[in-house]
Structure 1
Amino acid sequence: MSKPSIIFVPGSYVLLPAYQNLLDAISGAGYEVHGIHPPTIGPRSRQGRDRPAPSMYDDAAVIAQEAEKLAEQGKDVILMGHSYAGIPMSQSTKGLGKDQRKAQGKPGGVVHLAFISCLVPAIGQLAGTLLSRFPNDKRPHVSIDENGWMLMEDPAATAEMICQKLPPREGEAFVRDFAKHSAQSFGNELTYAGYKDIPVSYLFCEEDKAGPPDFQRDMIAMIEEASGREVDVTSVKGDHCPHLSAEKGTIDWALNVVKKAQMSQ
């Protein structure tokens, strides 16, 4: 039984090194893991790019390109991501599910979607629609530059929203390392729902302020209704960044998801 390959997609603003503990744990268990730097995330801390910010569809295209490359090698692929990543992950899988590819006589394909407190919209919805249920005065201040790149202006306030379980200085330093993120990406509608055809696991974060428990439950229920399939849900006592606030639970979840996906093939 061959081991699946994992593609990991970070949340909005967040650079891949922030997830190094999780990526190292997965690779240390003997699995191939590929981290994606989405086009909608700037190149380094507090920076965007000197051109118009790209769309969520650009992120999805990059994820799809990496997934197709691995699938063409005959590999089973797991897409795993955090927060905003749930949207381009879902969008990216058109034609790339293992069953879809098998029907076309092609090898490999995406066999599982693993969401870490992710935004997962229904067809026609967008990140902005989901987040509109939270009043603007409850969200940390974000500025947008002339090219459409967003910046978290108050790292301390943002840390209190997304990683409040960390010591305040540590949380603020974590957010201060964020790059800028494309504003356009939050306004792009989901046009393809990969979760309808591909099994889903969801890491439910019990102490998440950015995506509170009821918010997560609503998305899980939507996935189950759209797919007719039960979502594999695991709960941790973590905030919106459980790879930091509930590290062991998050790593255990990730490895269990990978093992279960491998055993199901």
Structure 2
Amino acid sequence: MPTTTHSTELVIVPGSFSSSKLYDVMVDPLRAKGYTAHVLDPPCYPESYKKGIPSPSMYDDAAFVNAFVTKLADEGKDIVLMAHSYGGVPTSQSLKGVTKKEREEQGKKGGVVRAAYITSIVPKIEENLATTISAAGDQGGAPPIDVDEDGWMSQPQPELTAKMVFNSLSPERGTAEAAKFGKHASVSFGGALTHAGYKDVPVSYFFCEDDLCVAPLVQQNGIDAIEESWKGTPREGKKVDVTRVKCDHVPLLSAPAELEKWVEEVIAKGADE
């Protein structure tokens, strides 16, 4: 039984091709310590795939996240909204109207007190996942991908996915983990950001220095985009709270102790906002 309860709740938006189950290894230890953690399965993710169903969009994911967070906020909860990989795009989009700052201006309680990104894609306005990666030149990218007739993507060669996504693990374990990936909606990668929600909240970033998927320059460009968005706002001159760790694209497996420590620190900072 947990000995402590924590008032700030954690909401996690996974990386593409991943179901919420992948994050059990990350959230189970936190829940055992008394944290409340929610891991979402938005529309573009594997849990929603059905043959014959057209690919949903990044905006569907963002609306799903926004609705979930709004429900918690309406219950008076303070929330740390945390994204991994592609999840950084719909997370940024979803923050419209749900930050604590915005809700307080409307006389409402609760809301997102901090955004947190784990080696995430963080676009500027009018940019999407693909343009954000390509802006960094020949760095980062994706393993081989198939797209079916309904617009859903899959990764047919887990051994090649492992070399890019799970490169801190052994080839055998990485391939086994990559084989667990499901389908992901292709349209989501083309959805351009129309609301840079990170401009309205403090931000923490878990920087994965050995990531071959979201390369270090892509991560740094995202951090720079966030800080640039604060110009002309009350947050001007502040910095993204960055923690750098030598690990691959999935630190919940390759750097679990460091990630758990970081998440606890992020939640504590959110509680102090």
- 1: CA distance between counterparts of 2:201 and 2:159? 38
Contact 1:96 1:109 survives alignment (8 Å) = yes
Output aligned runs, 1:206-217, within 5 Å.
Answer: 206-217=209-220
In structure 2, what is the equivalent of residue 30 of structure 1?
A: 34
Output aligned runs, 1:1-265, within 5 Å.
Answer: 3-43=7-47, 49-132=51-134, 133=136, 139-227=142-230, 228=236, 229-264=238-273
Contact 1:42 1:49 survives alignment (8 Å) = no
- Cα deviation for residue 97 of structure 1 reads 0.8
Aligned-residue CA RMSD in angstroms? 1.8
- 2: CA distance between counterparts of 1:202 and 1:136? 19
Identity %: 42
Contact 1:123 1:189 survives alignment (8 Å) = yes
Moved over 3 A (4+): 133-139
Aligned-partner residue type, residue 124 of structure 2:
A
Say if 1:26 and 1:60 are closer, same or farther in 2 by CA, change over 3 A.
Answer: same
Normalising by structure 1, report the TM-score: 0.94
- 2: CA distance between counterparts of 1:230 and 1:150? 36
Say if 1:6 and 1:136 are closer, same or farther in 2 by CA, change over 3 A.
Answer: closer
- 1: CA distance between counterparts of 2:40 and 2:142? 27
Say if 1:80 and 1:124 are closer, same or farther in 2 by CA, change over 3 A.
Answer: same
- 2: CA distance between counterparts of 1:117 and 1:139? 14
Aligned-partner residue type, residue 226 of structure 1:
S
Q: Report the secondary structure of 2:93's partner residue.
A: helix
- Cα deviation for residue 23 of structure 1 reads 0.9
Contact 1:48 1:179 survives alignment (8 Å) = no
- 2: CA distance between counterparts of 1:202 and 1:137? 18
Aligned-partner residue type, residue 92 of structure 1:
S
5+ residue gaps, structure 2, are: 231-235
Normalising by structure 2, report the TM-score: 0.91
